[in-house]
Amino acid sequence: MNKIAIIMYGPPGSGKGTQANLLAAKLDIIHFDTGRFCEALVHGPDRQKEKIIQRERKLFDSGILMTPSFVLKEIVKHVKAIAKTGHGLIFSGSPRTIYEAERLMPVLETLYDKRNIFVFELKMRESFSVKRNGRRILCSVCKAPLLTAYYPSKNPKHCPVCAGPFYKRTLDKPETIKIRLKQYRERTEPIVTILKKRGYKIFEVSAEPAPYKIFHQIYGHLKNRR
Ligand SMILES: [Zn+2]
């Protein structure tokens, strides 16, 4: 089941990264985390001198989507390298704009075949997203998020995976979350509509239950359709 490409959409805080990790482990495919990929691209030490990286870093840190042509070029490069190894792929939050979708989907079709492409849309109320993101903390070492609703400690100190210290991302500040939600609504959500029209398999799943329950639902859809 590993020659498969999955695209996971959902507003900030919907847990698309968590679902992608669960599916990647279950199906033995590679999780392409666009957010983390972009973060590494603009904050990584290697390319800090490049003007284009400095410009993109400013966008990234303010919660505005980075320049689509730039992101696309970098993503396609990596996707081709992964497909070459024979692995399947799961994207969390990508392609994020119509521009990216129109150029990335044909690449995926060539590499994986249209019938092996699955799109999931995690649905969540915006108030829920704001609340969840406001409490979001990540491990600074392994990047695992702490599911604060299920670990109701007032001041958690150690990551349950590796015991590393936690940090809060700059883009999870309440004012930035509002910008990210608006960006999702205006630039990403319409892609799902377009993909539906073009005949891709799209499944809507509620993002509000516990992650393991969401995972069972998603996995059920994949098992039934293949
Ligand atoms: Zn950790």
Strand-by-strand arrangement of the 5-9 sheet: 30-33, 89-92, 5-9, 117-123, 201-206
User: How far apart are the CA of 68 and the centre of ligand 1, in A?
Assistant: 31
**Token code pair at residue 86:** 């024979």
Distance CA 132, CA 127 (A): 9
The environment of the single-atom ion ligand 1, i.e. residues with CB closer than 5 A, is 139, 141-142, 144, 159, 161-162, 164
For 196, the 3-state DSSP assignment is: helix
Helix%, strand%, coil% for the chain, nearest 5? 55, 15, 35
Distance CA 184, CA 177 (A): 10
Can you give the pLDDT of all 226 residues of the chain as single tens digits?
458 999 999 998 898 989 999 999 999 999 998 878 888 999 988 889 999 999 999 998 888 888 889 989 999 999 999 999 999 999 997 888 888 899 999 999 999 999 999 999 999 998 888 888 888 889 999 988 888 778 777 788 899 899 999 988 877 788 888 888 998 899 888 999 999 999 999 999 999 999 999 999 999 999 877 6
The answer to whether the pTM exceeds 0.85 is no
Q: What domains sit in the chain, N to C, each tagged with a CATH number?
A: 5-125+187-225 (3.40.50.300)
User: How far apart are the CA of 147 and the centre of ligand 1, in A?
Assistant: 13
Distance CA 84, CA 96 (A): 23
User: How far apart are the CA of 140 and the centre of ligand 1, in A?
Assistant: 7
User: How far apart are the CA of 96 and the centre of ligand 1, in A?
Assistant: 27
